[in-house]
A and B are shown apart, each in its own frame.
Chain A
Amino acid sequence: MLAVHGLEVVYDDVVLVLRGVSLEVPTGAIVALLGANGAGKTTLLRAITGLLDVHRGRITKGEVLLDGDRIHGRDAPAIVRRGVAQVMEGRRVFAEMTVDENLRAGGFTRNRMQNREAYDRVMDLFPKLAERRDSTAGYLSGGEQQMVAMGRAMMASPKLLLLDEPSLGLAPRIVEQIRDIIVTLNEQGTTVLLVEQNANMALSIATHGTVLETGKVVKEGPAADLLGDEDIQEFYLGISGGDGAQRRSFRDVKSYRRRKRWGA
């Protein structure tokens, strides 16, 4: 189980991006992490996987526990070896390398035998990659690149898979495929933390959901409850409430952010 307690992250010593975020991802679950741009979703993933250094970010408070052990502060390779793999936002495949080579890079921390097993499993999950094995990854379509990125992460045979906006920029049918694959690999025993802006897709497969806004958790609960929540429907699903279904002005939209009043 992954547990994040009261996490604060600061970039460049001045920009406070996470302000005390707590989150739990029980073993075997799919947890959806929702939030608008700049809410801190990607930062939270970086804090979990040890990639903050690269962006000159630092954890100033709180802790990240994996099965009870503190993993924050360890370097990225050590965390991958602990069984946490990440599919980064924007896919980030190694464009000049073939699909097979991308997968081999994903299996860097594992030995030859483990890689052979993982490779077969990835090919079962993504039959399309088997056809494209020797193609240059950079020339694949967006959906195929997303599969390469996910397959590459699965090569590390992670216990916990972090997915950062896997539906980004993909056609609805491809998004469905990706969703089904997430469900399949979860059924095969991988715990999933799914970061999404596509709340509909995320909540339809998640057991739990957490909504992040400007670095704070503003809502959490079972996915079904969140799907029914009026605010979530309005902000993330684009459904306006009521039978009249009139358009509402953005001026009337309720904001979670408390306005601070100066003076008075």
Chain B
Amino acid sequence: MSEFLELSFAGIALGSRYALVALGFVIIFRATGVINFAHGGLMLLGAYFAYALIATGMPFALAVVLAMLGTAAFGATVERVALRPLVGRPVYAAIMVTVGLLFIMEQLATTIWGHNALTLGDPWGLDTVTAGDVVMPVKDLWTIGLAALALAAFFVLLRYTRIGVAMRATAADPEAALAQGISAGRITAVSWAIAAALATVAGVTFAAGPNALSPGLSTVALIAFPAMILGGMDSPGGAVVGGLIIGLVQSLTAGYQEDVLPWAGENVHHVMPFVVMILILLVRPYGLFGTREVRRI
């Protein structure tokens, strides 16, 4: 039993990172109707920004906050330069641009920081907390806490602030929102900035501690992808639920693979998120919480 609880706890920690990344996908999709393939690149750059700041001797927490702001500004700039001119054009054009941006961002990171694994410092060490006979790493507790804080902040913004209401209006009916004087361009820029900041938190929690930071980090976004599809592409709550499901599935499959699926090989947990995604889409083509009809400008 304690093994199951420990695996579940690790799954939730992993899932809360996926949730942050998946939410970023959803935020940009809601504002623009575009699936942003460059999101993994934003996460990668966010983590490297944090690394560069920590390397100057800055305290970890401050470095993360500044990296979030920096990546947010970077994301908004990229949107303004590379994607705004495509508003009103066919969506696939914008999607292909984001694919291109992903490769450019990955190359940018490699050119500046190289291929070697870098360490973000070890802010949380290998300490553990024991509750009953369940052992929980402090790093995972921090990850869950930070992710929960970031997610809560986003949902408060979406629900109570002027810009949050405007973001929801634009997601619901872009033309009607425009008719109220809500500038679609501004909403898109804000969406990119928020998504980039959340991606930075995800990137830092993936790379901190023993995991280390390397350009391969951006592929994590590909695993958050099923989380977004699973939850429904336009549902922020769905992204969080989807992220947690994918995290749990990965962690439990990795833990029990030898007993349950010995024939599948020990890397089967990499495939499981996509298996779950396909199974759920077969039953619910719009994901768990997605809207049936998704409109866009």
Q: Main SS of the interface on chain B? A: helix
Minimum CB–CB distance from B190 to chain A (whole Å) comes to 13
Do the beta carbons of B166 and A105 come within 8 Å of each other? Answer: yes
Do the beta carbons of B169 and A76 come within 8 Å of each other? Answer: no
**Cβ–Cβ < 8 Å partners of B177 in chain A:** 94, 105
Minimum CB–CB distance from B63 to chain A (whole Å) comes to 35
Minimum CB–CB distance from B267 to chain A (whole Å) comes to 41
Do the beta carbons of B181 and A152 come within 8 Å of each other? Answer: no
| Complex-state Cα separation, A74 to B169, whole angstroms | 21
- Interface size bucket, A side? 20 to 34
| Complex-state Cα separation, A144 to B147, whole angstroms | 40
**Cβ–Cβ < 8 Å partners of A97 in chain B:** 165, 168-169, 172
Q: Which of B184-215 contact A (CB under 8 A)?
A: none
Decide if B176 is an interface residue (CB 8 Å cutoff).
yes
Do the beta carbons of B88 and A104 come within 8 Å of each other? Answer: no
Complex: chain B residue closest to A110, CB-CB: B181
Decide if A126 is an interface residue (CB 8 Å cutoff).
no
Minimum CB–CB distance from B189 to chain A (whole Å) comes to 14
Minimum CB–CB distance from A157 to chain B (whole Å) comes to 12
Complex: chain B residue closest to A138, CB-CB: B172
**Cβ–Cβ < 8 Å partners of A95 in chain B:** 172
**Cβ–Cβ < 8 Å partners of A75 in chain B:** 183
**Cβ–Cβ < 8 Å partners of B162 in chain A:** 104, 108
Do the beta carbons of A76 and B172 come within 8 Å of each other? Answer: no
**Cβ–Cβ < 8 Å partners of B182 in chain A:** 77, 105, 108
| Complex-state Cα separation, A98 to B297, whole angstroms | 23
Do the beta carbons of B180 and A51 come within 8 Å of each other? Answer: no
Minimum CB–CB distance from B159 to chain A (whole Å) comes to 9
User: Which of B162, B178, B180 lies at the interface centre, i.e. has the most chain A CB atoms within 10 A of its CB?
Assistant: B180
A108 and B166 in contact (CB under 8 A), knowing A54-B297, A75-B183, A94-B172? yes
**Cβ–Cβ < 8 Å partners of B168 in chain A:** 94, 96-97, 101
Decide if B173 is an interface residue (CB 8 Å cutoff).
yes
A77 and B183 in contact (CB under 8 A), knowing A96-B168, A97-B165, A97-B168? yes
A-B contact pairs, 21 of them (CB 8 A): A54-B88, A54-B174, A54-B297, A76-B178, A77-B178, A77-B182, A77-B183, A80-B180, A80-B181, A88-B175, A88-B179, A92-B179, A94-B172, A96-B168, A101-B168, A102-B169, A104-B165, A105-B169, A108-B165, A109-B181, A153-B180
